[in-house]
Chains A and B, each alone.
Chain A
Amino acid sequence: MGVDLALIWAMIIVFGIMMYVVMDGFDLGIGMLFPFVKEEAKRDVMMNTVAPVWDGNETWLVLGGACLFGAFPLAYSVVLDALSMPLLLMLIGLIFRGVAFEFRFKSKDHERHLWDKAFIGGSLTATICQGMALGAFIEGFPVVDRQYAGGPLDWITPFSIFCGLALIVAYTLLGCTWLIMKTEGSLQTQMRRLATPLAWLLLVVIGAISIWTPLAHSSIAQRWFSLPNFFWFMPVPILVLLSLVMLLRAVKIDAHVTPFLFTLLLIFLGYSGLGISLWPNIIPPSISIWQAAAPPQSQGFMLVGALFIIPFILGYTAWSYYVFRGKVTHDQGYH
């Protein structure tokens, strides 16, 4: 068959994870910004800025899991096995976050703070676990006889903990700039003040990871610093710096939409950098997408449904965001 199904499926899954990161990132970030905002009314507004769209994330998360299972069963089994503890904690965090989200709106005033805490705790747990899982993924998994051969706590390393913290910074900045875009008044001012230090912090963590990974993994150093790759990939760090400058400037001149867009660009560039480092491995350090692929009759069978339904889900998502454009104020709310 002339079509490289494994490549197509890898693209779909990479795209799905990117969608997840972008769409869940800012609302997990809002959960982590809750402690900085004490007033109930403002918290209501923060919730209302994501209420119509936060659901999108779980779609991509479930879809990503199921597609990985069907298209790359080996990767699904090894990676999930190795990461079972952080993933378990992440799911628990997401459950609490999701349920808190709904029941916060439906609870009495004296109980609301409990759901607030569940929302904060859930967001924080989910984020740090995702970051640590990502860090552990970059570091790679020992595989013997198609089975994960490491220990249950191998995912806890200095690097993975750093990645967990890095993701907290990234998601919080996403949430912060999202709120700059979607709100006005004192809440927006408060967020604008937070955005600058967060942006610098994000630069620091991106820089640290960019130095740390090639130092720790010679194959990643090889990928970036050999010729002619170096020239091909050079735009990525340059663009990172450029978009950070633009982001800081946009915050300074009181722009509403562009800070969020530049943060998205930053996240996208960081994601691309990781892609460059790891490609084409789906189980780092050495198992490629082709080695882990399900047979073509499985991938082809799935592709029929995916190509039909994924555009539909994308259209629905775009429609949701279109309907939800504009600012959110206190009086237009769920309640």
Chain B
Amino acid sequence: MFGLDAFELARIQFAFTISFHIIFPAITIGLASYLAVLEGLWLKTQQAVYRDLYHFWSKIFAVNFGMGVVSGLVMAYQFGTNWSRFSDFAGSVTGPLLTYEVLTAFFLEAGFLGVMLFGWTRVGRGLHFFATVMVAIGTLLSTFWILASNSWMQTPQGHAIVDGRVIPVDWFAVVFNPSFPYRLTHMAIAAFLSTAFLVGASAAWQLLRGRDNPAVRKMLSMAMWMALFVAPIQVLVGDAHGLNTMKYQPAKIAAIEGHWENKAGEGVPLILFGWPDMQRETIRFAVEIPRLGSLILTHSLDQPIPALKDFAPRDRPNATIVFWSFRIMVGLGLLMIAVGLCSAWLRWRGRLYQSILFLRFVLAMGASGIVALLAGWFTTEVGRQPWVVYGLLRTREGVSNHGALQMSVSLIIFILVYLSVFGVGVRYLLRLIRKGPLSAETHPSGGPGQQRSPARPLSAVLEDIDDDADADIKGRNNSSDQSDESRS
């Protein structure tokens, strides 16, 4: 297909399915923590606005969680079907880590999700809050395991190679490999920011439509505090992650910088924009700032940084992709900081909820967190090529022995099915978000073995997929037998 060989098609298929999948868990991670904060604030302040927001976002959390489970099903099998030689080579290390991720997720589902989604009127407040907090911690634990696996593939240690395969020797060293703490922190914060910008944009949309109420304001306000404080923290974490990458994966840094060679005694410029040309071994149309590259990466004005020509052509990642995906991520990160600063200024001037221009900006930034997150993953994954386990196994050596025709067919099937199935799912999510928070939201009852059950999180949501917002509100008021009014 398009002159691509089976190996390249397998990579595209993996990139497509994992990119689709990661969006849902990222929002799950962010929303779980957001919900824990909301419920904590509700218990502490007793302000109804926190309770209403909790109910509103817990519906979106439920649908999103369901989408994550469905899209994750494919991931558990894809390593074997398309990357069988990698699975045989590294399965002794990555397999158990993946198993722990799966076990954590199911533990969460069986233990606490039910109480969180269905227990509002049936258990005490403290216990319900505990369940929400456990779900939030559980999503982070799942992140912990899967990022341990990914980070080990980036910076492997704690293993031995016996008979041409990896054998774990020291699990502590395997899990806490050099890039793991940075990657975990960077990813968790990225999930928080993705969620914050989604929340902020939904509030901005409501305000722009003239639907102004305390819950909507609270949403915007909380999201903007996140943008103001957490976006800059993410830049610092990203910088530390970058220095760690320079130490362990210098070729990735060279590709990110689009930097081909060092000249003796000269500082390295920072190339803002340009077109890294892999064939000609140069960067075309470069716009650069002298010495800034050295300053950022070595914190000095004249130290050299890794350059692509230091590596044999077969060991170089594709700088054209990495250079740009990195800049998309950083650019969006800077825009997020700008949103945070604007919000602080407008808040100080008392116009946070009124400035049309600003609200439009926030709305436009709604998907920025998700896009930046994907761009970041593209940077780190394309940037570690040609290795699938860094320095140990080349990606091309890890692929299954399928033909290009078979890989083309399966890729097309995946694209069609994902776009249709998750298209409906995402449309449903957006419909729910568009409705906005209402006071005294209904809260369905359910639990293990009941018609609404935690392992089918979508059943926690009452709305139809195609109802328009107004009809839905009407229908709901008639059927709100399980309203939490009875408790509050």
Is A162 close to B, CB under 8 A?
no
Do B100 and A302 have beta carbons less than 8 Å apart? Answer: yes
Do A107 and B449 have beta carbons less than 8 Å apart? Answer: no
The interface stretch among A64-72, A210-218, A233-241 is A64-72
> Which residue in B84, B168, B428, B448 is a CB contact (below 8 Å) of A77?
B84
Return chain B residues, CB-CB under 8 Å to A66: 76, 95, 98-99, 101-103
Is B435 close to A, CB under 8 A?
no
Chain B residue total in the interface (Cβ 8 A):
70
Tell me what chain B mostly uses at the interface: helix, strand, loop, or mixed. Answer: helix
> Which residue in B456, B461, B463 is a CB contact (below 8 Å) of A51?
B456
Least Cβ–Cβ distance between A47 and chain B, in angstroms: 10
Do A76 and B73 have beta carbons less than 8 Å apart? Answer: no
Return chain A residues, CB-CB under 8 Å to B101: 66
Is B403 close to A, CB under 8 A?
yes
Return chain B residues, CB-CB under 8 Å to A106: 428, 458, 461, 463-465
> Which residue in A74, A298, A309 is a CB contact (below 8 Å) of B93?
A298
Do A295 and B456 have beta carbons less than 8 Å apart? Answer: no
Return chain B residues, CB-CB under 8 Å to A320: 448-449, 453
Least Cβ–Cβ distance between A5 and chain B, in angstroms: 12
Return chain A residues, CB-CB under 8 Å to B96: 70, 294, 298, 301-302
Encoded as 1 (CB less than 8 Å from any A CB) or 0, chain B from 131 to 157 comes to 000000000000000000000000000
Q: How far is the CA of A52 from the CA of B424 in the complex (A)?
A: 23
Q: How far is the CA of A91 from the CA of B403 in the complex (A)?
A: 20
Is B410 close to A, CB under 8 A?
yes
Return chain A residues, CB-CB under 8 Å to B86: 77
Do B87 and A95 have beta carbons less than 8 Å apart? Answer: no
Return chain A residues, CB-CB under 8 Å to B402: 81, 84, 152
Q: How far is the CA of A103 from the CA of B400 in the complex (A)?
A: 36
Encoded as 1 (CB less than 8 Å from any B CB) or 0, chain A from 167 to 210 comes to 00000000000000000000000000000000000000000000
A-B contact count (CB 8 A): 226
Q: How far is the CA of A65 from the CA of B99 in the complex (A)?
A: 9
Q: How far is the CA of A298 from the CA of B174 in the complex (A)?
A: 12
Do B456 and A55 have beta carbons less than 8 Å apart? Answer: yes
> Which residue in A81, A111, A323 is a CB contact (below 8 Å) of B401?
A81
Least Cβ–Cβ distance between B301 and chain A, in angstroms: 48
Least Cβ–Cβ distance between B349 and chain A, in angstroms: 44
Q: How far is the CA of A85 from the CA of B407 in the complex (A)?
A: 10
Least Cβ–Cβ distance between B163 and chain A, in angstroms: 10
Do B459 and A51 have beta carbons less than 8 Å apart? Answer: yes
Is A226 close to B, CB under 8 A?
no
> Could you list 17 examples of A-B contacts with CB < 8 Å?
A55-B453, A69-B79, A69-B87, A73-B90, A80-B77, A80-B79, A80-B81, A80-B84, A84-B400, A92-B413, A96-B421, A297-B167, A306-B103, A312-B107, A319-B449, A321-B449, A323-B449
Which 6 residue pairs across A and B have the least CB separation, nearest first? A73-B91, A80-B80, A323-B449, A70-B95, A55-B455, A84-B81
Least Cβ–Cβ distance between B129 and chain A, in angstroms: 21
Return chain A residues, CB-CB under 8 Å to B76: 61-62, 65-66, 69
Do A84 and B82 have beta carbons less than 8 Å apart? Answer: yes
Is B480 close to A, CB under 8 A?
no
Q: How far is the CA of A123 from the CA of B80 in the complex (A)?
A: 23
Is B169 close to A, CB under 8 A?
yes
Least Cβ–Cβ distance between B443 and chain A, in angstroms: 16
Encoded as 1 (CB less than 8 Å from any A CB) or 0, chain B from 69 to 80 comes to 110111011011
Do B465 and A103 have beta carbons less than 8 Å apart? Answer: yes
Encoded as 1 (CB less than 8 Å from any B CB) or 0, chain A from 303 to 328 comes to 00110011011011001111110000
Do A95 and B421 have beta carbons less than 8 Å apart? Answer: yes
Is B261 close to A, CB under 8 A?
no
Asked, given contacts A302-B100, A323-B450, whether A313 binds B81 with beta carbons under 8 Å apart, the answer is: no
Is A273 close to B, CB under 8 A?
no
Is A98 close to B, CB under 8 A?
yes
Q: How far is the CA of A94 from the CA of B77 in the complex (A)?
A: 13
Do B466 and A107 have beta carbons less than 8 Å apart? Answer: yes
Question: Chain B residue with minimal CB distance to A74?
Answer: B88
Q: How far is the CA of A272 from the CA of B468 in the complex (A)?
A: 53
Q: How far is the CA of A142 from the CA of B187 in the complex (A)?
A: 42
Return chain A residues, CB-CB under 8 Å to B16: none
Is A53 close to B, CB under 8 A?
yes
Least Cβ–Cβ distance between A292 and chain B, in angstroms: 9
Q: How far is the CA of A98 from the CA of B96 in the complex (A)?
A: 27
Least Cβ–Cβ distance between A96 and chain B, in angstroms: 7
Q: How far is the CA of A305 from the CA of B461 in the complex (A)?
A: 32
Encoded as 1 (CB less than 8 Å from any B CB) or 0, chain A from 140 to 172 comes to 000000111000100000000000000000000
> Which residue in A51, A101, A312 is a CB contact (below 8 Å) of B111?
A312
Is A222 close to B, CB under 8 A?
no
Least Cβ–Cβ distance between A330 and chain B, in angstroms: 13
Q: How far is the CA of A19 from the CA of B327 in the complex (A)?
A: 48
> Which residue in B70, B95, B464 is a CB contact (below 8 Å) of A69?
B95
Encoded as 1 (CB less than 8 Å from any A CB) or 0, chain B from 384 to 425 comes to 000000000000000011110010001001000100010011
Is A275 close to B, CB under 8 A?
no
Interface centre among B72, B88, B162, B410 (most CB of A within 10 A): B88
Return chain B residues, CB-CB under 8 Å to A76: 79-80, 87, 91, 95
Question: Chain B residue with minimal CB distance to A105?
Answer: B459
Is A102 close to B, CB under 8 A?
yes
Q: How far is the CA of A108 from the CA of B103 in the complex (A)?
A: 36
Q: How far is the CA of A76 from the CA of B81 in the complex (A)?
A: 8
Do B80 and A48 have beta carbons less than 8 Å apart? Answer: no
Return chain A residues, CB-CB under 8 Å to B107: 309, 312-313
Is B21 close to A, CB under 8 A?
no
Question: Chain A residue with minimal CB distance to B171?
Answer: A301
Is A291 close to B, CB under 8 A?
no
